[in-house]
Amino acid sequence: GINAEYGVIATAGTRITGHIDNIPSLRSLSDTYEMWLHARGSVCPLLALPDPPQTLSLLTQCDSVAVYNSSLLPGCTSVSLSLLSELQLPSDVQSLETLLPLWAGVQCQGAEGCVGSVRERYEGVMELYREIQSIRNIQIMEYPLTGHILCFRYLAEDATLFETTDSEIYNRLMNNLNRELYGQLSGVSTVELVDLGEGGIFLRAEERTDDNIASTLRSYSAAFDLSLRLRVELYTRTRSVENFLFIDDPCYPSTGAVQYLPQYLRAEEACRSEEGREELNEVNRKIAEYLAQSWGDGVI
What global pTM score does this model have?
Answer: 0.68
Ranked by mean pLDDT, the top range of 70-79, 227-236, 246-255 is 227-236
pLDDT interval class at 101 (50, 70, 90): low
Task: Name the residue type at position 96.
Answer: L
Which pLDDT band holds residue 203 (cuts at 50, 70, 90)? confident
Least confident piece of the model among 15-24, 57-66, 102-111, 122-131: 102-111
State pLDDT tens for residues 253-273: 667 788 888 877 776 666 667
Query: Which range in 90-104, 125-139, 254-268 is most confidently predicted, on average pLDDT?
Result: 125-139
β-bridge mates for residue 39, sequence order: 10, 65
Q: Quick check: 279 pLDDT over 80?
A: yes
Q: What is the mean pLDDT of residues 121-133?
A: 84
Bigger pLDDT: 129 or 71? 129
Other C-beta atoms closer than 10 Å to the C-beta of 22 total: 11
Tell which wins on pLDDT, 88 or 145: 145
Evaluate if residue 298 carries a pLDDT over 60: no
**Rounded to whole angstroms, how far apart are CA atoms 144 and 175?**
22
pLDDT for 25 equals 95
Asked whether 253 and 180 are in contact (CB, 8 A), the reply is yes
pLDDT of residue 83: 43
Mean pLDDT of 121-130: 83
Q: Which pairs with CB-CB distance under 8 Å and at least 24 residues apart come from 131-135?
A: 131/214, 132/213, 132/214, 132/217, 135/214, 135/217, 135/218, 135/221
What single DSSP character describes residue 132? H
Would you place residue 221 in the very low, low, confident or very high pLDDT band (cuts 50, 70, 90)? very high
> pLDDT tens for residues 138-149?
988 876 656 667
Who wins on pLDDT, 100 or 21? 21
Phi, psi angle pair for 254, to nearest 5°: -125, -135
- The answer to whether residues 207 and 121 touch, using CB atoms and an 8 Å cutoff, is yes
The pLDDT score that the predictor gives to residue 253 is 60
pLDDT at 30: 92
